[in-house]
């Protein structure tokens, strides 16, 4: 041991004690940081409020309902347009179907006035 002290200029045991102290201090610092993090989370918890979730679900349901109604209306409008085109094609082929044209005109006028497709 005496030889190591002469070569290094200090005691090896003191080096081990110093290194152990540094490692223990670092471990304590990490533990302390983790405890601070845990206490902060306890002071300001991430609250998932059921009321907020229910409000979001209600908004989503309302939005989906409106989208569904819009899709139904677009489908009815498309059917009205296709029926009117079909009547026009029948009339252009045989020249008849004047009554069908009058009925289709009435349906289109009702849609434009009342905003809904009558079946």
Residue 37 and residue 64 in one domain: no
Residue 59 and residue 42 in one domain: no
- Rounded CA-CA distance 16/39 in Å is 34
pLDDT in tens, 3-55: 655 566 667 787 788 888 999 999 999 999 999 998 888 887 666 678 888 89
Task: State which residues form the domain around 34.
Answer: 1-47
Write down the number of H helices and E strands in the chain: 4, 0
- Rounded CA-CA distance 104/81 in Å is 10
91: left (phi over 0), alpha (psi -120 to 50) or beta: alpha
Residue 25 and residue 71 in one domain: no
Residue 90 and residue 117 in one domain: yes
pLDDT in tens, 50-84: 888 889 999 999 999 999 999 988 998 888 888 88
Residue 61 and residue 31 in one domain: no
Model pTM score: 0.45
In the chain, how many domains are there? 2
């Amino acid at each position: 041991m005496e030889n190591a002290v002469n070569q290094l200029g200090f005691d090896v045991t003191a080096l081990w004690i110093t290194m152990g102290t540094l490692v223990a201090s670092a471990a304590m610092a990490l533990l302390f940081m983790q405890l601070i993090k845990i206490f902060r989370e306890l002071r300001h918890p991430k609250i998932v409020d059921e009321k907020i979730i229910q409000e979001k679900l209600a908004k989503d349901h309302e939005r989906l309902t409106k989208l569904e109604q819009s899709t139904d209306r677009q489908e009815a409008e498309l059917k009205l347009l296709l029926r009117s085109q079909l009547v026009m094609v029948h009339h252009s082929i045989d020249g008849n179907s004047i009554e069908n044209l009058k009925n289709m005109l009435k349906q289109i006028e009702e849609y434009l006035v009342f905003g809904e497709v009558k079946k």
